[in-house]
Chains A and B, each alone.
Chain A
Amino acid sequence: MLEFNNVTKRYADGTPAVKNLNLKIDKGEFVCFIGPSGCGKTTTMKMVNRLIDITEGDIRFDDKSINDQDPVELRRSIGYVIQQIGLMPHMTIKENIVLVGTLLKWSKEKKDQRARELLELVDLPEEYLDKYPHELSGGQQQRIGVLRALASNPPLILMDEPFGALDPITRDSLQEEFKKLQKELHKTIVFVTHDMDEALKLADRVVIMRDGEIVQADTPDEILRNPANEFVEEFLGKDRLIQGRPDVTTVGQIMEGCPVTVQTGTTLKEAISVMRDKHVDSLLVVDMDNTLQGFIDIESINLNYKKANHVEEVMEANIFSVAEESLLRDTVHKILRRGVKYVPVVNDAQQLTGIVTRATLANLVYDTIWGDGMELEEAAATAE
């Protein structure tokens, strides 16, 4: 799909930015370039769409050398997302999304249709099409930035620290959204970042660079398990290397099985008696199929007791949940960052299967440190 053959970039004064780089990227692969500033990761990426010219060597895109192609045509056939987002402030969201379509002279109907299709992918309402970029939040703007790159359905998308300027929570949700999108659409992604967490989370393969050379190119797991040298170890940090070990525990393995729930249609009175029976201060609301709908807590019932009859009228539908198969280390991070007391766990069909509370996590830490009791007894036995 994309092949770097002995690619070298030297600037006019002779300093090399990229030295003799070789790399093969397969179709549908998500590759993250990472390294300290000045390591040549951005230069490498920009050579692909010829925003920077190659000094020596060759890049082949779909088995054609990019040097044989007109740079303008080439760029139109490759998606491009940048950190500064760079939406055209004088164009509506619709015009921004289909900018490449305009350059390729699509008909108006085709552009309208494509803009609507794309907007659906990121769950933004259709009214947004006629808004201007400054009316959107940073996270929404970058969603549009991603859609713009997808507009002409390019097989390859280049991303230059696309989520770098966003706040941590927005970044988190955009990363997840984007990873999902990438799996659905099966795009090849070249992603430049300096955030190791981001690279480990998103990439199929992480390419670690230093001084214009590739230090290690491997899957995130492999890099965590077998860092190529000290530089990689240092770059990963001790914490991640330790975290890298019990990496495979999923949320499903440690969650508690039977959360306290009520079905939609339950009256508030019944909900209160459930709470009293089970000694809890909030309840998860599910429907007939056990699909998670939201939650209610004692305060919202208290506030609305006179006004409402059924739980769905007072429940908070905007609830944060995690998937069963997501990794524990990511989930812990999220629970702590959001400061929530518990997180419902759902399967692929959004059905509630369990719950992770802070107590669950505390138990887990306790088990990790003290073991399940066996080691202590053994130690005592050896001591004797």
Chain B
Amino acid sequence: MMEFLAENGNELLVKTGEHLYISLVAMALGVIVAVPLGVMLSRIPKVADRLISFVGILQTIPSLAILAFFIPIVGIGKFPAIIALFIYSLLPILRNTYIGIRDVDQGVIEAGKGMGMNNLQAIIKMELPLAMPVIMAGIRLSTVYLIGWAALAAFIGGGGLGDFIFDGLNLYKPSLILAGTVPATILAVIADRSLAAVESKLTPDGLKDSYEAA
């Protein structure tokens, strides 16, 4: 173990960094695109169901295949890896944002409107805060998935902990496979915990209490 770390320690750190970078950038892109899209979809429920099932289909394409498809279009390296992972991150965030906002109590929405909230105020002051726990659940889920899938980035030269795993497979060296897998798992757990902390920060106090009460 110590021996292995002495030999590969530096590389392990670099790869972990890459891995984290790929997954987080993809996740951030996913949030930036999917949350506003989800809010928009909540205004047009008819289109929403169709679009969400379409994105669901994208999700079923095997990840290796998506990575392979992207090689002719955007080449190899980190960028195509990020694009592919970004597509995977969309569905959970989009669906949870849409459902979270759709399920906000209609009485509250009507009161807000009747008080004279315009559309933007309704979204920012009312719908997003109330849907926050559901939206964050989607973001957490998709982040944990992304950290797992990011291992495949190595397949198209994106780097990351996947490099260790593929090397290990090719050289029949279980220690290398472990060196790729264990840090990825730890990363996933840490990411999930820190997002849980973000979630409790973003969830309005009044909602937290009412969950405890319920």
Query: A: which residues have CB within 8 A of B?
Result: 49, 51, 72-77, 80, 82-92, 99-100, 102-103, 132-135, 145, 148, 158
Interface assignment of B111: CB less than 8 Å from any CB of chain A: yes
Contacts of B210 in A (CB 8 A): 89, 132, 134
Selected interface stretch from B113-121, B162-170, B191-199: B113-121
From B111, which residue of chain A is reached at the shortest CB distance? A86
For residue A61, give the distance in angstroms from its CB to the closest CB of chain B: 14
What string of 1s and 0s marks CB contacts (under 8 Å) between B70-83 and chain A? Answer: 00000000000000
> B107 touching A84 by the CB < 8 A rule?
yes
In Å, the complex CA distance between A91 and B118 comes to: 18
> A80 touching B111 by the CB < 8 A rule?
yes
Beyond known contacts A49-B114, A100-B116: 5 more, CB 8 A cutoff = A77-B116, A84-B105, A84-B106, A86-B112, A90-B205
For residue B207, give the distance in angstroms from its CB to the closest CB of chain A: 5
> B108 touching A86 by the CB < 8 A rule?
yes
From B119, which residue of chain A is reached at the shortest CB distance? A72
Contacts of B129 in A (CB 8 A): 90
In Å, the complex CA distance between A90 and B209 comes to: 10
> A103 touching B116 by the CB < 8 A rule?
yes
Candidates A75, A89, A148; contact of B207 at CB < 8 Å = A89
17 contacts between A and B (CB under 8 A): A72-B117, A74-B116, A75-B114, A80-B111, A84-B105, A84-B108, A84-B110, A86-B107, A88-B111, A89-B108, A89-B207, A90-B129, A90-B206, A92-B206, A100-B116, A132-B205, A132-B206
For residue A250, give the distance in angstroms from its CB to the closest CB of chain B: 38
In Å, the complex CA distance between A3 and B115 comes to: 21
Candidates B106, B108, B109, B110; contact of A87 at CB < 8 Å = B108
From A134, which residue of chain B is reached at the shortest CB distance? B210
> B115 touching A100 by the CB < 8 A rule?
yes
For residue B103, give the distance in angstroms from its CB to the closest CB of chain A: 13
In Å, the complex CA distance between A73 and B115 comes to: 9
In Å, the complex CA distance between A92 and B204 comes to: 10
Query: B: which residues have CB within 8 A of A?
Result: 105-118, 121, 125-126, 129-130, 204-207, 209-210, 213
> B126 touching A88 by the CB < 8 A rule?
yes
In Å, the complex CA distance between A148 and B111 comes to: 10
From B118, which residue of chain A is reached at the shortest CB distance? A72
In Å, the complex CA distance between A317 and B52 comes to: 61
For residue A30, give the distance in angstroms from its CB to the closest CB of chain B: 19
In Å, the complex CA distance between A49 and B105 comes to: 21
In Å, the complex CA distance between A74 and B117 comes to: 11
Candidates A49, A74, A88; contact of B112 at CB < 8 Å = A88
Q: Is the interface of A mostly helix, strand, loop or mixed?
A: mixed
In Å, the complex CA distance between A83 and B105 comes to: 13
Candidates B106, B115, B205; contact of A75 at CB < 8 Å = B115
Closest 5 CB pairs of A and B: A84-B107, A86-B111, A76-B116, A90-B204, A80-B114
> A134 touching B113 by the CB < 8 A rule?
no
From A100, which residue of chain B is reached at the shortest CB distance? B115
For residue B213, give the distance in angstroms from its CB to the closest CB of chain A: 6
For residue A127, give the distance in angstroms from its CB to the closest CB of chain B: 15
For residue A137, give the distance in angstroms from its CB to the closest CB of chain B: 13
> B110 touching A103 by the CB < 8 A rule?
no
Do A103 and B121 contact each other (CB < 8 Å), given the known contacts A86-B108, A90-B204, A132-B205? yes
Contacts of B107 in A (CB 8 A): 82-86
Contacts of B109 in A (CB 8 A): 86
Contacts of A85 in B (CB 8 A): 107, 111
In Å, the complex CA distance between A95 and B150 comes to: 44
From B108, which residue of chain A is reached at the shortest CB distance? A86
Candidates B108, B126, B206; contact of A134 at CB < 8 Å = B206
For residue B46, give the distance in angstroms from its CB to the closest CB of chain A: 15
Candidates A49, A77, A90, A134; contact of B213 at CB < 8 Å = A134
In Å, the complex CA distance between A133 and B204 comes to: 13
For residue A33, give the distance in angstroms from its CB to the closest CB of chain B: 16
> B106 touching A90 by the CB < 8 A rule?
no
In Å, the complex CA distance between A358 and B129 comes to: 54
Contacts of A100 in B (CB 8 A): 115-116
Candidates A87, A102, A132; contact of B111 at CB < 8 Å = A87
Most A C-beta atoms less than 10 A away, residue of B107, B109, B129, B207: B107
Do A91 and B206 contact each other (CB < 8 Å), given the known contacts A103-B116, A103-B117? yes
In Å, the complex CA distance between A103 and B112 comes to: 10
Contacts of A91 in B (CB 8 A): 204, 206
For residue A103, give the distance in angstroms from its CB to the closest CB of chain B: 6
From A77, which residue of chain B is reached at the shortest CB distance? B116
From B117, which residue of chain A is reached at the shortest CB distance? A103
Candidates A103, A132, A133, A134; contact of B115 at CB < 8 Å = A103
In Å, the complex CA distance between A99 and B111 comes to: 10
Contacts of B130 in A (CB 8 A): 88-90
